[in-house]
């Protein structure tokens, strides 16, 4: 049986580590060049973490690097195509050499290639799966080895409410996101014995550069917001705060789980069903 006095439990009790216990901890964020990834990197930096910023785009990675350094964080940016196993291995080696062993991995890189399944090409199907699912596996393996050799760590994988709710004409996106949830659970049970936790954050409707086109039509944001009990479209920072909790020792006894961050949207289905006599609370 593992000693309950793990590195994470010790960090919770160490008042010098700050409330989230991430001070000085090496956190790797994939797809950190913008949107949710950048918000996660900035939020972890504000908690005192040391950041490794991975992205395919050197320009956007550099922008995130500036954003975290302004907050006083030590950080490096490394070019990486997470769909390419060799690229991930090289990035992991460079990360360890420059910053030390990874303590937190946030798998966030993703792409969207919409299209009907009837005409979706195999190339488009595999393009999405290679980044949105296989890339998560590559990073979990590469950075998980560093965690195993350093007493454990935490992994947080960004999935989506699309993992549980089919979305027509979204190509392989939903399938990949569903795969992330199961990958995380399997990692949790296989690697829990060596001190590695694995959890998922599933965003709902979040305004990011990737989703901006959905809101370009006049009135789209208002119509979408009306379906959300929280009354608004989410922001990348909403996701980042959930990631911060799961990355931190405050969640040391949580693994194989999933936090949905959607303003209550996926719990709102019955309110969309016409029910005579209930429009005003049943009076």
Phi, psi angles (nearest 5°) of residue 108: -130, -20
Query: Would residue 173 show up in a list of annotated catalytic residues for this protein?
Result: yes
| Catalytically annotated residue among 136, 173, 253, 265 | 173
Using DSSP's 3-state secondary structure scheme, residue 156 falls into strand
List CB contacts of 184: < 8 A, sequence separation 6 or more.
155, 157, 159, 198, 199, 200, 256, 258
List CB contacts of 258: < 8 A, sequence separation 6 or more.
159, 181, 184, 199, 200, 201, 202
Phi, psi angles (nearest 5°) of residue 178: -65, -40
Q: Can you say whether the dihedral through the CA atoms of 229, 233, 238, 243 is positive or negative?
A: positive
Strand intervals (E) in the chain: 26-30, 50-55, 75-79, 104-107, 153-158, 196-203, 258-261
Using DSSP's 3-state secondary structure scheme, residue 279 falls into coil
Sheet (strand 26-30) strand order: 75-79, 50-55, 26-30, 104-107, 153-158, 196-203, 258-261
Q: Which residues pair with residue 26 across a beta bridge? A: 50
Query: Catalytic amino acids?
Result: 173
């Amino acid at each position: 049986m593992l000693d309950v006095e793990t590195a994470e439990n010790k960090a919770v009790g160490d008042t010098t580590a700050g409330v989230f216990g991430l001070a000085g901890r090496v956190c790797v964020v994939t797809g950190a060049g913008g949107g949710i990834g950048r918000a996660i990197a900035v939020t972890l930096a504000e908690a005192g973490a040391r950041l490794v910023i991975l992205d395919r785009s050197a320009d956007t990675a550099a922008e995130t690097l500036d954003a975290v350094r302004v907050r006083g964080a030590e950080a490096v940016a490394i070019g990486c195509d997470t769909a390419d196993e060799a690229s991930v291995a090289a990035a992991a080696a460079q990360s360890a050499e420059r910053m030390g062993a990874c303590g937190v991995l946030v798998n966030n890189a993703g792409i969207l290639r919409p299209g009907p399944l009837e005409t979706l090409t195999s190339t488009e199907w595999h393009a999405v799966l290679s980044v949105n699912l296989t890339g998560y596996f590559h990073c979990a393996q590469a950075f998980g080895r560093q965690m195993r050799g350093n007493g454990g760590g935490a992994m947080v994988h960004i999935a989506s409410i699309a993992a549980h709710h089919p979305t027509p004409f979204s190509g392989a996106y939903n399938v990949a996101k569903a795969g992330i949830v199961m990958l995380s659970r399997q990692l949790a049970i296989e690697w829990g014995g060596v001190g590695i936790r694995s959890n998922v954050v599933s965003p709902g409707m979040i305004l990011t550069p990737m989703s901006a086109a959905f809101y370009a039509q006049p009135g789209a944001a208002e119509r979408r917001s009306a379906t959300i009990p929280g009354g608004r479209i989410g922001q990348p920072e909403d996701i980042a705060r959930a990631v911060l909790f799961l990355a931190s020792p405050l969640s040391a006894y949580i693994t194989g789980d999933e936090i949905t961050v959607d303003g209550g949207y996926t719990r709102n289905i019955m309110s969309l069903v016409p029910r005579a006599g209930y429009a005003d609370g049943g009076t």
